[in-house]
């Protein structure tokens, strides 16, 4: 009996950047001074301060290795935290070398003087920027806020940098006590970028504690129009959060989503991915059947990509069950082959031959899956007993419109309010 020869031809897996379009933004008649949008690349990373804390502490730890330390006072109790703080800030030892002590003193100061007083003091301290930001983020993430509404109002008198550091933690605490009041306060913020980020923070917490009210509040809000005119809604965010705690409730909420392909796809995909995580594979595959064929194809790409990445062995074993249609089984096989080629998984030649056999000869099957903030896309092509996998294209896992909004939204608003005009020109990449 002739043994089949099985081959993979993977053409350069070095991910190339796939740029769908280039945009030129021209600003005219704003002020007497020139405005250069190309230099406006700063974005506020408000949502995930925990990651920033870890990065800052790692940076500090790397620098602490060569920084001098005073071991003589390590075991001494701190009778007067304020004096101890001032002494450390004004001594000749670099603050980086005393980070552990500064963190401890900041914690003691919070107990004595309160959250906001410590924040104000930290912001005005003449400390190393990395040390200052690390301590600030530690303070806002560990503080027990007794009156988040009062804290929110007081922080509004601080600098924008201070607001971005402190407000997410305050909003999380406020959302547990009085989310409707918190939402009203956030809605009145001038900065669209800060407002949007804090709304997302609020609704994630709100959806966990009172999902029905959170959903109804989201649905009662008009669809948010960005400065570029693209519509966004809050309900899919609520459903995504509810899915983490109660899948049946999240699925029951799906009919309430307002029309719009992007909103539908986001909500369905978040539930589908959670179903995969909970090993409810049959429900995950069937969830999108009520969508249009185009949307269901995109939904299945997300679900199958998640499954192949998380549990490739269980996905392979399920191919002999009756949960598949011919089309979804082909997509599953293609995802597993791509996963196999990327990770050098333990599929043997017999398993690989089976996967190749599930793909129609001379047919291209599109593959798309998320990797962090990126979206990887490719096609898999069967030619006889070989499969051809072209290079992956890597795209930012946000819509092109969202990227523009994130980077230039506030600037566009300010330009228009100042009486300027904005021209957006899209030219296709060659």
Contacts of 385 (CB under 8 A, 6+ apart): 4, 5, 6, 7, 353, 356
Q: 94-98, 254-258, 384-388: which has the highest mean pLDDT? A: 254-258
Least confident range of 15-24, 150-159, 387-396, 407-416: 15-24
Residue 226 lies in a domain: no
The domain total for the chain is: 2
Q: Does residue 356 lie within any of the structural domains?
A: no
Q: Within a domain: residue 1? A: no
**Tens-place pLDDT, residues 129-167:** 788 778 877 877 776 677 888 889 888 887 787 788 789
Residue 241 in any domain: the answer is yes
- Over 60: is that where the pLDDT of 227 sits? no
Tell me which of 277, 310, 343 is where a domain ends.
Answer: 310
Tokens of 135: 């301590």
**Poorest-pLDDT segment among 9-23, 24-38, 73-87:** 9-23
Asked whether residue 204 carries a pLDDT value surpassing 90, the answer given is yes
* Window from 73-87, 211-225, 313-327 with minimum mean pLDDT: 73-87
What integer pLDDT is reported at residue 393 of this predicted model?
61
The most confident of 57-71, 339-353, 372-386, by mean pLDDT: 339-353
Where a domain ends, among 144, 170, 189?
144
- Among residues 144, 163, 179, the one where a domain terminates is 144
Q: How far apart are CA 251 and CA 271, in angstroms?
A: 7
Q: What is the pLDDT of residue 59?
A: 52
Q: How many Å separate Cα 328 from the centre of its chain?
A: 28
Measure the CA angle with vertex 391, ends 430 and 353; round to 5°: 145
Residue 208 makes CB contacts below 8 A (sequence gap 6+) with: 241, 242, 244, 245
Residue 394 has pLDDT above 70, yes or no: no
Determine which of 58-67, 88-97, 364-373, 390-399 has the lowest per-residue pLDDT on average.
58-67
Q: Is residue 11 part of a domain?
A: no
For residue 367, which phi and psi values (nearest 5 degrees)? -125, 140
Q: Residue 293 domain-assigned?
A: yes
Buried b (16+ CB within 10 A) or exposed e, 236-268: bbbbbbbbeeebeebbebbeebeeeebbbbbbb
Answering whether pTM is above 0.95, one says: no
pLDDT of residue 230: 56
Listed as own residue / partner, the contacts of 393-399 with beta carbons closer than 8 Å and 24 or more positions apart are: 393/15, 393/16, 393/17, 393/18, 394/15, 394/16, 394/17, 394/18, 395/17, 395/18, 395/20, 397/370, 397/372, 397/373, 398/373, 399/230, 399/262
**3-7 mean pLDDT:** 45
End-to-end CA distance of the chain: 51
Arithmetic mean of pLDDT over the chain: 75
According to the per-residue pLDDT averaged within each range, which of 70-84, 107-121, 212-226, 233-247 is highest?
233-247
67 is a domain residue:
yes
Determine the structural domain holding residue 241 and report its residue range.
Answer: 231-310
The pLDDT score that the predictor gives to residue 12 is 38
For residue range 342-373, list pLDDT tens digits in order.
666 668 889 888 988 888 876 777 776 655 54
Residue 61 lies in a domain: yes
**More confident of the two residues 348 and 315:** 315
Helices and strands counted in the chain (H then E)? 19, 10
Give the pLDDT of residue 332. 92
pLDDT band at 28 (very low <50, low <70, confident <90, very high): very low
Lowest mean pLDDT among 8-22, 199-213, 386-400: 8-22
């Amino acid at each position: 009996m002739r043994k089949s020869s099985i081959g993979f031809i993977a053409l350069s897996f070095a991910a190339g950047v796939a740029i769908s379009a280039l945009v030129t933004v021209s600003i005219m008649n704003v002020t007497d001074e020139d405005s250069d949008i190309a230099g406006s690349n700063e974005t506020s990373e408000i949502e995930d301060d925990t990651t920033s804390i870890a990065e800052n502490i790692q940076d500090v730890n790397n620098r602490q290795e060569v920084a001098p330390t005073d071991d003589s006072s390590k075991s001494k109790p701190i009778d007067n935290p304020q004096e101890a703080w001032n002494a450390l800030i004004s001594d000749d030892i670099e603050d980086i070398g005393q980070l552990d002590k500064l963190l401890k003193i900041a914690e003691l100061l919070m107990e004595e003087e309160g959250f906001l007083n410590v924040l104000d003091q930290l912001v005005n301290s003449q400390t190393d920027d990395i040390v200052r930001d690390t301590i600030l983020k530690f303070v806002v993430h560990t503080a027990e806020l007794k009156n988040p509404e009062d804290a929110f109002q007081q922080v509004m008198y601080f600098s924008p940098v201070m607001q971005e550091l402190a407000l997410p933690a305050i909003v999380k605490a406020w959302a547990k006590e009085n989310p409707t009041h918190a939402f009203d306060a956030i809605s009145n913020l001038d900065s669209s970028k800060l407002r949007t980020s804090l709304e997302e923070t609020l609704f994630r917490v709100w959806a966990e504690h009172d999902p029905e009210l959170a959903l109804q509040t989201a649905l009662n809000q008009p669809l948010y129009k960005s400065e570029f005119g693209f519509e966004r809604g809050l309900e899919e965010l609520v459903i995504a959060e509810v899915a983490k705690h109660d899948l049946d409730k999240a699925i029951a909420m799906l009919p309430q989503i307002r029309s719009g392909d992007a909103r539908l796809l986001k909500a369905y995909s978040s539930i589908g991915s959670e179903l995969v995580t909970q090993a409810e594979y049959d429900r995950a595959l069937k969830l999108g059947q009520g969508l249009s064929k185009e949307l269901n194809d995109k939904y299945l790409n997300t679900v199958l990509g998640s499954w192949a990445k998380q549990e490739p062995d269980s996905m392979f074993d399920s191919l002999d069950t009756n949960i598949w249609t011919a089309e979804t089984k082909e997509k599953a096989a293609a995802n597993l082959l791509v996963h196999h080629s990327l990770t050098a998984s333990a599929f043997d030649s017999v398993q690989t031959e089976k996967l190749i056999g599930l793909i129609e000869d001379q047919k291209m099957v599109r593959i798309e899956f998320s990797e962090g903030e990126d979206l990887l896309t490719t096609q898999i092509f069967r030619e006889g007993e070989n499969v051809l996998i072209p290079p992956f294209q890597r795209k930012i896992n946000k819509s092109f419109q969202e990227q523009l909004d994130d980077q230039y939204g506030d600037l566009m608003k300010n330009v228009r309010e100042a009486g300027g005009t904005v021209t957006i020109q899209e030219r296709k990449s060659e």
